[in-house]
Amino acid sequence: MTIQSREQCEQLDREDALAHLKQEFALPEGVIYLDGNSLGARPKAAASRAAEVIQQEWGTDLITSWNKAGWFDLPSRLGNLLSPLIGAEANEVVVTDTTSGNLFKALAAALHMQAGDDQRKVIITERSNFPTDIYMAEGLTGWLQRGYRIHLIDSPEELSTAINAETAVVMLTHVNYRTGYLHDMQTVTALAHQHGALMLWDLAHSAGAVPVNLNAANADFAVGCTYKYLNGGPGSPAFIWVPARHQAKFRHPLSGWWGHASPFAMSPHFEHQPTIRAALCGTQPIVSLALVECGLEIFAKTDMQALRKKSLALTDLFIALVEQRCAGFGLELVTPRDHVQRGSQVSLHHPHAYALIQALIARGVVGDYREPGILRFGFTPLYVGFADVWDAAEHLRDLLASQSYDLNLKRNAVT
Amino acid sequence: MTIQSREQCEQLDREDALAHLKQEFALPEGVIYLDGNSLGARPKAAASRAAEVIQQEWGTDLITSWNKAGWFDLPSRLGNLLSPLIGAEANEVVVTDTTSGNLFKALAAALHMQAGDDQRKVIITERSNFPTDIYMAEGLTGWLQRGYRIHLIDSPEELSTAINAETAVVMLTHVNYRTGYLHDMQTVTALAHQHGALMLWDLAHSAGAVPVNLNAANADFAVGCTYKYLNGGPGSPAFIWVPARHQAKFRHPLSGWWGHASPFAMSPHFEHQPTIRAALCGTQPIVSLALVECGLEIFAKTDMQALRKKSLALTDLFIALVEQRCAGFGLELVTPRDHVQRGSQVSLHHPHAYALIQALIARGVVGDYREPGILRFGFTPLYVGFADVWDAAEHLRDLLASQSYDLNLKRNAVT
């Protein structure tokens, strides 16, 4: 169906079985929020949950809350709530620390598992990967000083030739933060395994955005973020997945007391515990951690198949509207057109991308800018509707047609 | 003055110039809270601050809050608020990650600075140190595989013979978590430097508890905790201090994007920044982080000298009351009697310590238990008064005299 009018979009919204989920979120009036891939919107429940943790659990119950309110167990409990979204089994995920920190642990563990083979010294990743993943790999391998090399490929097509008997680990972000390109998890994992390499996935732009089945793909390790599509709150702790089959041999250098086999025995030597809790290190930020549950509770009201169907309908619509109604203004589609290669975002290139994003934000259409020259729009089916997509595209068309954006505006240091 | 009655304690409370600060905290009625060395009490301001961050900054301002609300700068801003409490200069402290994680960074940086000297392979610490510090040192050195050894000493007196030309780093917790023993920072740091070693201090039980002057002592690195005496909230992010003179050479393996010289340039290679922000790694848990400010604001209403004076008066009083009124029941003082060796806690040994602590908690006197056989009481001058100390000692005496605690009670796995 070709969409020609806002009325048709409104009709799609009326027919949308997920439309009621928007009520779970506290979004400001008049804002079309297409930046849930950077910071997810606030679940309404987050305010009362924070008040409960702060007033009752911290203020009144004080130290007893480590047991009584389950604070100590929270990383595991949240991990188990998150598991179904990524195809993990129970007791394979904890929510803890940062994505960067968790990637360090997973990569270290993977290299440790490969240490018996002196020929396997190469970590393969993409130059276009989110930079912190590459930085953490540089940090780890630079310090180990054992001849590890990071091989940056420039296109997913290179994977089939790049992976070989020298590859220790293939470390990829499932959905690219900039382009929205979606890797085929099953195929790439199988390719890595075929050559004896281990497969580490960063799900920062996948968890809650696209269906993921880590165990079906037989992946080796995964990490990801809870503050984007999972709506856990600003900078909410990240997650790490270690499949049951690898837990006994999961070793990393961040061996803090929360990962100890008997954390409260206060023994002066570290003792590994063969569970997912070996991925824990220090004491967790409980208030931020507790809010992750509010986002996960909303996912429990639907499923990733339904969300994926709507996500593709939204991104299809946006691409179509941009191509039909914003043609001739220099926009280029960066995100793959093919569904099997597309995450839950649409990225467009334009020479004045930064100025355009600022002008859109001023009109209440919140997307973001990414270097170089990318307008990035995240489509979160939990709270974005079809009329929102129409309106966003119309604002973009109007800005381009009227040239009512600041041609001289340059990106400042921090945005 | 020998205290003989509760009335005398009430008089001390009336004369206490810090007594009004208790009003800044939301403590439950009828509770004498002597566990602020484990989890600080809740500042009243924390509830409204959390509501502001969640409702306005996250919910309404959304992604713009990274700049507009200063989220990105928060680790540095809080670090600067904390600096005066530990004798740090501006731009030498950030609040971020966990104490374990920060210790890993500081220890790695110290080993890196010593790497030019092949003879310096020993890290000296105490067997009685909080275990996670030893575990992180084990994690780091085990992975580096460059002949590093951890030398565990059994008493502070051993320091003078243990530190020598093979010592790379002396890594001590300033106030021992179990005994409350306080090291002389100036003397120990000078001893380490005399032998060419670097000095790393863990201030988990010092920051906000005793006066600390890192720069006056010429220390090299420090880390610490904000959720104990600083009242930042359960598991609130930790801090790390790197003095200006070491920032250009501060290198560690957790090189995430927040520590990059240009985090938003999205360059595929890590570039060190010669500032305290090189100690940052991944995206921080903003809600938990923001609450740290509520605790620090209370410290701005007083100073560490005044707090120390009251702290010593409280611990002196508790020791005196225990020795006068609980004599003959098998309690042994573990904490040093000498002021210059005492933190802000009193630890007592008793064969039934765990059962006694449980019975005290049931009466509203909240202390905690630490292995082996230690009753631990933290005295936080911000919200503990002299009559509280009297009442705590009376409850303890009454329990001992009446033997009204469960002689068979054993510690369970997680407390």
Residue B262 in this model has a pLDDT that exceeds 90? yes
Percent of chain B with pLDDT over 70: 98
Question: Which tens digit of pLDDT belongs to each residue from B381-406?
Answer: 999 999 999 999 999 999 999 998 88
Q: Using CA atoms, how far apart are residues B137 and A254, in angstroms rounded to an integer?
A: 9
Q: What pLDDT, on a 0 to 100 scale, did the predictor assign at position B412? A: 54
Is residue B95 within 8 angstroms of chain A, CB to CB? Answer: no
CA distance A261 to A280: 11
At A408 the pLDDT is 79
pLDDT given for residue A128 in this prediction: 97
- Test B264 with A50 for CB contact under 8 angstroms: no
Which chain B residues touch A283 with a CB distance below 8 Å?
Answer: 98-100, 225, 227, 235
What pLDDT score does B415 carry? 39
In this prediction the ipTM stands at 0.97
**Contact yes or no for A143 and B253 at CB 8 A:** yes
| 8 Å CB contact of A100 and B254 | yes
Chain A positions touching B130 (Cβ under 8 A) are: 257
B272 SS3 class:
strand
pLDDT digits (tens, 9 = 90+) for B87-99: 999 999 999 999 9
Give the residue ranges of chain A where pLDDT is below 70. 1, 411-415
Q: Is there a catalytic annotation at residue A228?
A: yes
Active site (catalytic) residues of B: 130, 202, 227-228, 376
CA distance A252 to A249: 10
| Distance in angstroms between the alpha carbons of the first and the last residue of chain B | 38
Any CB–CB contact under 8 A between A235 and chain B? Answer: yes
| Residue of A57, A152, A366 with shortest CB distance to B63 | A366
Residue B411 pLDDT level (bands cut at 50, 70, 90) = low
Q: How many angstroms separate the Cα of B275 from the Cα of each of B76, B257, B304?
A: 10, 14, 27
d(CA B129, CA B150): 12
- Contact across the interface for B264 and A227, Cβ inside 8 Å: no
Of A207, A243, A255, which is closest to residue A105 (Cα–Cα)?
A255
Q: What Rg, from alpha-carbon coordinates, does chain A have?
A: 22
* Residue B390 in marked binding region: no
- A227 an active-site residue? yes
pLDDT for B406 equals 84
Q: What angle do CA B176, B386, B42 make, to 5 degrees?
A: 65
**Would you say A208 and A224 are in contact if contact means Cβ atoms under 8 Å apart?**
no
Q: Which residues of A are annotated as a binding site for pyridoxal 5'-phosphate?
A: 99-100, 130-133, 173, 202, 205, 227, 257, 283
Does the pTM surpass 0.90? The reply is yes
For residue B293, the distance in angstroms to the closest alpha carbon of chain A comes to 14
Nearest to B236 among A26, A285, A368 (CB): A285
Alpha carbon distance A323, A396 (integer Å)? 12
Average pLDDT in chain B = 96
Task: Collect all residues with Cβ–Cβ distance below 8 Å to B43 and sequence separation of at least 6.
Answer: B24, B25, B26, B231, B294, B295, B297, B298
The angle, 0 to 180 degrees and rounded to 10, between the axes of the packed helices B286-299 and B74-86 is 30
Which chain B residues have a beta carbon less than 8 Å from that of A368? 63
Chains A, B: CB pairs < 8 Å: 300
At residue A415, the pLDDT reads: 39
CA distance A166 to A118: 9
User: Measured between alpha carbons, how far is B375 from B199 in angstroms, rounded to an integer?
Assistant: 30
Question: B189-207 pLDDT, tens per residue?
Answer: 999 999 999 999 999 999 9
pLDDT higher than threshold 80 for residue B352: yes
Strand boundaries in A81-219, DSSP class E? 93-95, 122-126, 149-153, 167-173, 198-202
Inform me whether the C-beta atom of residue A304 falls under 8 Å from chain B C-beta atoms.
no
Residue with tokens 């709270």: A383
Nearest Cβ partner for A366 among B62, B72, B254: B62
Collapsed DSSP state (helix, strand, coil) of residue A149: strand
B285: β partners: none
Q: Is A386 a catalytic residue?
A: no
Q: Using CA atoms, how far apart are residues A295 and A34, in angstroms rounded to an integer? A: 17
**Looking at residues B154-182, what average pLDDT do you find?**
98
Which residues of B are less than 8 Å from A178 in CB distance?
Answer: 266
A127 contacts in chain B (CB < 8 Å): 268
With the C-alpha atoms ordered A272, A275, A281, A284, is the resulting torsion angle positive or negative?
A: negative
Which residues in B lie closer than 8 A to residue A238 (C-beta atoms)? Answer: 282
**Can you list the alpha helix ranges (DSSP code H) found in B145-285?**
159-162, 185-194, 214-217
**Taking CA atoms, what residue in B is nearest to A285?**
B235
Using a CB–CB cutoff of 8 Å, tell me whether B49 touches chain A: no
Distances in whole angstroms, Cα of residue B389 to Cα of each of B241, B316, B343, B367: 34, 10, 16, 12
- Residue A268 in contact with partner chain B when CB distance is under 8 A: yes
| Phi-psi label, residue B201: left if phi above 0, alpha if psi -120 to 50, beta otherwise | beta
Interface contact flag, A104 B51, Cβ < 8 Å: no
Q: Is A177 a catalytic residue?
A: no
Contact A256, A71 (CB under 8 A): no
Q: A73 by DSSP, 3-state: which?
A: coil
**For the residues B70-83, what does the mean pLDDT come to?**
98
Beta bridge partners of A149: A122
Nearest to B290 by CA among A283, A236, A220, A23: A236
Of B27, B46, B288, the CB nearest to A288: B288
Measure in Å the smallest separation between the Cα of B252 and chain A Cα atoms: 7
Q: Write down how long chain A is.
A: 415
Could you tell me which of B239, B200, B287, B268 has the C-alpha nearest to residue B84? B239
Question: Quick one: how far is CA A258 from the chain centroid?
Answer: 25
The DSSP element (H or E) to which B290 belongs, if any, is helix B286-299
CB-CB neighbors (< 8 A) of A97 in chain B: 97-98, 101, 282
